[in-house]
């Protein structure tokens, strides 16, 4: 049984296969589709808020023939302290797959282990693999091979999204630079042998960038650190000045939700809204491809 819990769960060839399937999923949408999950019921267990991930998985599962069952972690016994291993063993007896958004990476790993059903990480504190798979699919759709791009992440370099970017850069071998203050940089251990460059100088980082990417300064679960984060990350914004140092036609991406005036200026966000919402839409097609890939194994 295969799961998708972190970027490294797929080899480079497997990631390439999913990226290829993304195109056929997108082109084939609305045409008669093979209902590969016919008769199945999948849980969406969410301990954190979500718009894109929740809706794209629900719609995707329906389109593949499954019945999605949304379970807010607070409404099931998990929220009252039932162990993840007991929740997993119960749900594993009734369901065929699970999509989980939570805090600890260990919880999705345990769920996969104890449930015995296909499990997909819909975001933890350490990883957001479906997001980064989608981002690479979007870059390749709009600009061509990721290997030809200089991707620059600006902002909180220690949260789930940039951490998954680091793993993807190591796996596929493309140029990734992270601009973040020292306190919000990925750990030296994660960066080992990745070729990823990390700097606190935003100007150095964005010079010559093909893709500028950002995420919120205050990730879910970090709300108490808001004041300190806004102070430390204040310079790490994608705005007209930062964009002027990148390549003239640089792509601007944001995983969303966006906070204008914080990690991105209103002007730059709106000028790049078409790309950003294509990125959001592509969650649907990529995740359907991931599910199909897992089912073919």
140, 146 in Cβ contact below 8 A?
Answer: yes
**From ligand CP, ligand NVA, none, interface partner of 215 (C-beta below 5 to 8 A by class):** ligand NVA
Taking CB under 6 A as the rule, does residue 256 contact ligand CP? Answer: yes
Please work out, in degrees rounded to the nearest 5, the angle formed at the alpha carbon of residue 159 by the alpha carbons of 157 and 160.
125
**From ligand NVA, ligand CP, none, interface partner of 161 (C-beta below 5 to 8 A by class):** ligand NVA
Catalytic annotation present for 204: no
Taking CB under 6 A as the rule, does residue 199 contact ligand CP? Answer: no
The interface mask with ligand NVA, positions 157-176, x = CB under 6 A, is: --xxx---------------
Catalytic annotation present for 128: yes
161, 222 in Cβ contact below 8 A?
Answer: no
The interface mask with ligand CP, positions 89-128, x = CB under 6 A, is: ----------------------------------x-----
For 60, how many CA atoms within 13 A lie in the half-sphere containing its CB?
26
Of 131, 164, 282, 287, the one binding ligand CP by CB under 6 A:
131
| Residue partners of 230: CB distance under 8 A and separation at least 6 | 217, 218, 262
The least CB distance from residue 241 to ligand NVA, in Å, is: 24
Catalytic annotation present for 255: yes
**From ligand CP, ligand NVA, none, interface partner of 159 (C-beta below 5 to 8 A by class):** ligand NVA
115, 46 in Cβ contact below 8 A?
Answer: no
Residue pointed to by tokens 């003239």: 248
Taking CB under 6 A as the rule, does residue 282 contact ligand CP? Answer: no
Of 209, 255, 264, 284, the one binding ligand CP by CB under 6 A:
255
252, 275 in Cβ contact below 8 A?
Answer: yes
What gap in Å lies between CA 169 and CA 246, rounded to an integer? Answer: 20
CA quadruple 185, 188, 190, 196: dihedral sign = positive
Residue pointed to by tokens 């199945």: 40
What gap in Å lies between CA 167 and CA 159, rounded to an integer? Answer: 13
Taking CB under 6 A as the rule, does residue 85 contact ligand CP? Answer: no
Catalytic annotation present for 274: no
b/e burial code for range 42-77 (CB count within 10 A of at least 16 → b): bbbbbbbebebbbebbbebbebbebebbebebeebe
The least CB distance from residue 65 to ligand NVA, in Å, is: 27
Catalytic residue among 3, 58, 131, 254: 131
Q: How many residues bind ligand CP (CB under 6 A)?
A: 10
Type and span of the H or E element at 152: strand 150-154
Catalytic residue among 3, 156, 255, 287: 255
**Residue placing its CB nearer to ligand NVA in the complex, 108 or 216:** 216
Interaction site with ligand NVA (CB under 6 A) = 123, 159-161, 215-216, 219-220, 255
Residues noted as catalytic: 101, 128, 131, 215, 255, 283
Contact residues for ligand CP, defined by CB under 6 A: 50-54, 123, 131, 255-257
């Amino acid at each position: 049984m295969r799961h998708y819990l972190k970027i490294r769960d797929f080899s480079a060839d497997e990631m390439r296969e999913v990226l290829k399937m993304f195109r056929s999923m997108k082109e084939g949408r609305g045409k008669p589709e093979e209902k590969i999950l016919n008769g199945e019921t999948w849980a969406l267990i969410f301990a954190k808020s979500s718009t894109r991930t929740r809706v794209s998985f629900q719609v995707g599962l329906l389109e593949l023939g499954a019945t999605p069952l949304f379970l807010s972690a607070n409404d099931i016994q998990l929220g009252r302290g039932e162990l993840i291993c007991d929740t997993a063993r119960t749900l594993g007896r009734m369901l065929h797959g699970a999509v989980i958004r939570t805090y600890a990476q260990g919880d999705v790993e345990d769920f996969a282990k104890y449930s015995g059903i296909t499990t997909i990480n819909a975001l933890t504190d350490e990883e957001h693999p479906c997001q980064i798979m989608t981002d690479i699919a979007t870059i390749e759709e709009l600009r061509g091979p990721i290997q030809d791009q200089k991707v620059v992440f600006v902002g909180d370099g220690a949260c789930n999204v940039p951490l998954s970017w680091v793993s993807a850069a190591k796996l596929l071998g493309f140029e990734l630079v992270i601009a973040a203050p020292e306190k919000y940089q990925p750990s030296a251990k994660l960066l080992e042998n990745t070729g990823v460059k990390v700097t606190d100088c935003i100007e150095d980082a964005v010079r010559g960038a093909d893709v500028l990417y950002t995420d919120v300064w205050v990730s879910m679960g970090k709300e108490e650190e808001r004041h300190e984060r806004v102070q430390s990350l204040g310079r790490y914004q994608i705005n007209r000045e930062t964009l002027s140092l990148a390549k003239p036609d640089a792509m601007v991406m944001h995983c969303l939700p966006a906070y204008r005036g914080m990690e991105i200026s209103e002007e730059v966000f709106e000028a790049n809204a078409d790309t950003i919402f294509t990125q959001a839409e592509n969650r649907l097609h990529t995740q359907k491809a991931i599910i199909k890939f897992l089912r073919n194994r």
